[in-house]
Every structure is written in C-alpha cells, then in structure tokens.
C-alpha cells in the first residue's frame, strides 16, 4: 500500500504507511529509501517539493526506539549490540557475506538441510543482483534501490 500511494504521488499517505512499516521492522527503512528516490525523480514542481518533509516521517519510529533504548540502557547502539550478543548478527561487507555463506553452503560441516538453505541463499543473492541490473537498465531506479538494499 505504501508503494502504491507513492506511485500515485500521495506522499503523506505513503510516508505514513512506511512509518508504520518501520515501527515493526527496521527494514521498512529500505522502503523509505526507495520512496525518497521516487520522490526525487518525480517531484518536478515547487508545489510537489512542499511534500518533501513527509520523507522524514518513516525515520521517526526507529529514532524514537533508539532514544527509548538509550534512555533505558545508556547505549545509543543498544539494538545493534543486542543483535550481536543475542543472535550473533554483525554487519559484514557484501563480499564477506558471500564468502561466509559460500563456506557454510559447501564446506561439508553443516547437515544437508542447512547446507541446502545456504545454497538457496546464494541463489537468491544472484537473482537479486541480476534483478537490480535489470531494474537499473530499465531505469527503474527506486525499485533498484529497494531490491539492492
């Protein structure tokens, strides 16, 4: 619904719906980035640019949550640190993520079920990269941003 509203240039609705998405999943920010690119590419009049403030709305829920966590823990990065400590999830460069997934898929350490899962992740990454290339070639930049993120 947020993407449809953005395509119809209903920026207030699109950004409100995207803010709801970022309230429950931080990955809603990927949608916000795509909507910002769509806005930048489609806002041609001064009147259209009056809606630019709405683009900040999706960032509010994660910002407020970070503030809340800082208030409770004293750590601005509490969410990231919880991901690292509780789920062993850390940021990796794309080539590191590829190498880690490749090793997990083909090193023979994991059971067949897990190895197949990692192999499927590799296939999904390749499909994603190919899709981004197709979208960029067709000049569908907002969609390319969303898929790339």
Query: Residue 48: in which H helix or E strand, if any?
Result: helix 46-49
Is residue 47's pLDDT more than 90? no
Interval 66-114: pLDDT, tens: 999 999 999 999 999 999 999 988 989 999 999 999 999 999 888 899 9
Is residue 31's pLDDT more than 90? yes
Q: What is the mean pLDDT of residues 32-58?
A: 95
Interval 116-139: pLDDT, tens: 999 999 999 999 999 999 999 999
Lowest mean pLDDT among 11-15, 42-46, 59-63: 42-46
What average pLDDT does the structure give for the chain? 96
Q: For the whole model, what pTM was predicted?
A: 0.88
Domain borders along the chain are 1-89, 92-149
Phi-psi region of 88 (alpha: psi -120 to 50; beta: other; left: phi over 0): left
Residue 138: predicted pLDDT: 98
Query: At a CB cut-off of 8 Å and minimum separation 6, what does 55 contact?
Result: 11, 15, 32, 35, 36, 39
Question: 């509490």: which residue's tokens?
Answer: 78
Residue 46: predicted pLDDT: 87
Better-predicted residue by pLDDT, 47 or 78: 78
């Amino acid at each position: 619904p947020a993407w449809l509203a953005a395509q119809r240039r209903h920026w207030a609705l699109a950004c409100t719906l995207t803010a709801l998405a970022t309230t429950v999943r931080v990955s809603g920010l990927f949608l916000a980035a795509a909507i910002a690119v769509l806005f930048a590419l489609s806002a041609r009049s001064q009147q259209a640019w009056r809606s630019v403030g709405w683009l900040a709305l999706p960032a509010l829920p994660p910002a407020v949550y970070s503030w809340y966590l800082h208030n409770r823990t004293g750590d601005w990065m509490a969410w990231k640190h919880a991901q690292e400590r509780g789920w062993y999830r850390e940021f990796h460069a794309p080539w590191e993520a590829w190498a880690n997934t490749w090793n997990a898929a083909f090193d023979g350490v994991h059971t067949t079920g897990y190895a197949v899962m990692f192999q499927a992740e590799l296939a999904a990454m390749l499909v994603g990269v190919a899709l981004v290339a197709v979208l960029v070639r067709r000049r569908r930049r907002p969609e390319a941003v969303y898929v790339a993120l």
